[in-house]
Amino acid sequence: MLSLLRPLLAAGLHLLLLPPGGLCSFLRYNNGFHYQDINNGNGNGEIYFNGVRLHVESPEPSVSATRGSSVTLPCHFHYEPELTSPRRTRVKWSWLPATAAAATAPAPAPVPHQRFARETEVMVAMGNRHRSYGNFRGRVRLRRSAPGDMSLVINELQLNDTGRYRCEVIDGLEDESVTVELELRGVVFPYFSKEGRYRFNFFGAQEACQDQDATLATFEQLFTAWEEGLDWCNAGWLADGTVQYPITVPRDGCGGEDLAPGLRSYGPRHRHHHHYDAFCFSASIKGSVYFLKHPTKLNFTEALRACESDGSQIAKVGQMHAAWRLMGLDRCDAGWLADGSVRYPITKARANCGPPEPGVRNFGFPPLHLKFGVYCYR
Ligand SMILES: *[C@@H]1O[C@H](CO)[C@@H](O)[C@H](O)[C@H]1NC(C)=O
Ligand SMILES: *[C@@H]1O[C@H](CO)[C@@H](O)[C@H](O)[C@H]1NC(C)=O
């Protein structure tokens, strides 16, 4: 499709990538062929009356990866029929972070040039030149394993790299794009403050998850966790600024018995003034979490030191959940964690190790002088 959007898109690209005159071309009409003002050509003297179409495709609409690894988001383009003379193509990868996936205000009526409004640039490339942006700088490249291969390779995946990536090919005449979802394999866990229930505003919740080597969960991540059986009757912040909770067994006090199982949503809440718990998302960790062998039980300060003496650090709650969920950590001994909580991970439920389902058991935040074991991370 020869898109009406092209001039607007072009305006959003960096000037170094613009052909002269690229800003002021509008399509006259579109009857299946591609007409364009000759003044607006690519400089090769090509006459723009042909049935050549640019196709941009991805064989995988969604890709799942692990934190810290590399991932390839596939994207290829070709022309049909093949071009007789090459066109200069530019490629732009942009990104709608999963954290922005649900608008906190009702979306405005879809106006074409707002289509990509909240996407941010990841990389732009033309010929051998390319440029990457923001947090992606130095971590991304194009695969270019074959002509037309514009697949994006992202290294050292971070928790907050999830979202919808758009591969857009622009050749001075046409622009076409395709999107690829990136998901990370991981685990969602509810988190509340030492101070008690419902103490975090949005920013406090963000920070609390980060402190536990996690990030606020997205709606999709919480939804997946609910599908996998998470049931939690306390409302928590999500990355998009909404407040929700997952219910698999409807009951009073959790939205009521009559409401179908699902995510109960309070919708967007005031990020400064409203207070809830948090849903954090943690993904695979590089190191491992282990229960420290120690002759005696420890108070919290002793626990911190004991991990240090063992050449490691006291484990964070996100690390504990990742180890439980992704590495099968199973231990029926309560131990201190970095936030001053006491927990233990059970993958095979059994007598005297808590409820009949697997899970990370949580004793909350006991007084710091009480004695338990400790989980360390190395
Ligand atoms: C994503 O996470 C990285 C590493 O934790 C951090 O440096 C970066 O600021 C985060 N980016 C956003 C948009 O939150
Ligand atoms: C833990 O025990 C040590 C003595 O081994 C003591 O000095 C420390 O104050 C105790 N910490 C807490 C939080 O009670």
In 3D, which of 276, 247, 268 has the Cα closest to residue 259?
247
The residue with tokens 């394999």 is 185
Residues contacting residue 110 through CB under 8 Å, at least 6 positions apart: none
Query: Which residue has a Cα nearest atom 12 of ligand 1?
Result: 160
Q: Which domains does the chain have, with CATH numbers?
A: 34-184 (2.60.40.10), 187-282 (3.10.100.10), 287-377 (3.10.100.10)
In this prediction the pTM is 0.77
Radius of gyration of the CA atoms of the chain, in A = 26
pLDDT of the residue at 32: 34
Query: Which residue has a Cα nearest atom 1 of ligand 1?
Result: 160
Cα 97 to ligand 1 centroid, rounded to whole Å: 11
Cα 203 to ligand 1 centroid, rounded to whole Å: 14
369 in contact with ligand 2, CB cutoff 6 A = yes
The residue with tokens 């608008």 is 103
Using CB distances shorter than 6 Å, the residues near ligand 1 are 135, 158, 160
211 in contact with ligand 2, CB cutoff 6 A = no
For each of the chain's 378 residues, which pLDDT tens digit applies? 444 333 333 333 333 333 333 333 333 333 333 333 334 444 454 445 567 889 999 999 999 998 999 999 999 999 998 888 888 899 999 999 887 654 433 333 333 443 455 889 999 999 889 999 999 999 999 999 999 999 999 999 999 999 999 999 999 888 999 999 999 989 999 999 999 999 999 999 999 999 999 999 999 999 999 999 999 999 999 999 999 999 999 999 898 889 999 999 999 999 999 999 999 999 988 899 999 999 999 999 999 999 999 999 999 999 999 999 999 999 999 999 999 999 999 999 999 999 999 999 999 999 999 999 999 999
Residues contacting residue 255 through CB under 8 Å, at least 6 positions apart: 247, 264
pLDDT of the residue at 138: 93
Residues contacting residue 204 through CB under 8 Å, at least 6 positions apart: 193, 275
Atom of ligand 2 nearest to the CA of 299: 1
Contact 302, 283 (CB under 8 A): no
Ligand 1 pocket: which of 135, 157, 182, 210 to mutate (most atoms within 8 A of CB): 135
Three-class secondary structure of residue 212 per DSSP: coil
pLDDT of the residue at 36: 39
Got the DSSP string for 146-162?
STTB-PEEE-S--GGG-
